[in-house]
Amino acid sequence: MRNGSNMALVNAFAHVLLEENLYDQEYVARFTTGLDEMREVVKDYAPEAVEHLTGIPAQQVRQAMRTYAAAPSATIMWGMGVTQFGQAVDVVKGLASLALLTGNLGRESVGVGPGAWAKQRPGRMRHGRAAKPVPWLSGRG
């Protein structure tokens, strides 16, 4: 992936979910707002249109979203690099939007969040609930 192209890739992911009707229409209607605005934002981000920016073949982007959307439960985790540049907040919002589009928020074994590097110390991250140490991350396992 080319430096600085994270947002283009996230928008391409959303483009595929919407264009191919891979999103959870019932979940989106019930729990979200702004679908028309999102469609407008990502309309020009077809994987084929941003392949030259991201360096990732369009077919791989499409297949990744088909796989993600078909999973009964999915979690998006990101590493430090996602949050260490100018578009970081927008990229994280975009990743959360992918989870919302596919109904992967608000139930067990789904969601979005940072990897084990989080500043809250490995094994003690908060994801909307009380944090518990993860033995293999905290040196107890």
CATH of the domain at 28: 3.40.228.10
Instruction: Give the CA diameter of the chain.
Output: 48
Tell me phi and psi for residue 130, to 5 degrees: -65, 135
Task: Provide CB contacts within 8 A for 97, sequence distance 6+.
Answer: 14, 38
Helices (H), the chain: 6-19, 25-31, 35-42, 47-54, 58-70, 88-101
Residue 126 lies in a domain: no
Residue 81 lies in a domain: yes
Residue 133 lies in a domain: no
Count of the separate structural domains present in the chain: 1
- pTM (global) more than 0.85: no
Residue 135 lies in a domain: no
pLDDT > 90: percent of the chain: 70
- What is the domain range of residue 30? 6-114
pLDDT confidence of residue 73? 96
- pLDDT bucket at 138, cuts 50 / 70 / 90: very low
In this model, does residue 117 exceed pLDDT 60? no
For the chain, report the end-to-end CA distance as a whole number of angstroms.
34
d(CA 64, CA 57): 11
Judged by average pLDDT, the poorest of 28-42, 73-87, 96-110 is 73-87
